[in-house]
Amino acid sequence: MGRSYFHLHLVSDSTGETLINVGRAAAAQYEGVSAIEHVYPLVRSAAQLDRVISEIRAAPGLVLYTLVGGDLGERLEEVARETGSPCLSVLRPVHDLLRAYLGAETTARPGAQHMLNAEYFKRIDAMNFTLAHDDGNLPEDLEEADVILLGVSRTSKTPTSIYLANRGLKTTNLPLVPGMPLPPAIERARKPLVVGLFASPERIVQIRQNRLSSLNADESSLYVDRSAVADEITMSRRLFTRNRWPTIDVTRRSIEETAAAIVDLYRDHRLKFIAD
């Protein structure tokens, strides 16, 4: 059977990140079906909504929206009914639940979750730190990190670090290279959570081969030799065990799943660090 497609219109008065994540998470559950995404961020006026409406009329499909202004939402739902496009306010069920529980009415504030508060600047600071300390750079600053990731080449250290930084965690990552010692500072680090990442040799070899192919590089080196890679991983896991660092097998994990596991580990580590 061939893959089928449908139009998915995502209308937001903010960045649209919430809708994109919800839409993709839901669509991923349907095998053989793909969404053609139409994303409309920062829709806060009737004129901006008119452009959205014209595109929905040209390509009817599912409509998900997060418009906190009542008039815009009502107009969008009216056009959705006219075009036969199922329409849902993604946040409305959550607002209804909160309203019933808190006994309070909402205050319409488009993009309120992106206000420039302390949490926002914490994430920016974490991102700057993480980018500056990628791939073993500035090892003397290890104690300033919240999380230190270790692993052989191609264990998704950098993308995981970036994801964690977006969650507000200052993250540095150190590559484990045969014959290259780790910076001494890691032995003295107490504040950061140190996590070892590893994957199956087959997975690492596959990723490395793809990397070399994209660079038109020689693929006959030990870098992609299955036996050599297995030795690298074995040595890395012995290092993790010897230092009692928690480990995560990233063979079949997405970056998001790995990051979520690290965040859980960090919460426990932080509580123990404060207690000490």
Binding residues for ADP: 151-158
Q: Which tokens belong to 184?
A: 């001494």
Q: Which tokens belong to 144?
A: 């300033």
Distance CA 236, CA 249 (A): 12
Distance CA 152, CA 136 (A): 12
Nearest CA-CA partner of 171 in 141, 201, 212: 141
Q: Give the residue ranges of the annotated binding site.
A: 151-158
SS3 34: strand
E strand residue ranges, the chain: 4-12, 33-40, 62-66, 87-89, 147-151, 171-175, 193-198, 247-249
Q: Which residues pair with 224 in a beta bridge?
A: none
SS3 8: strand
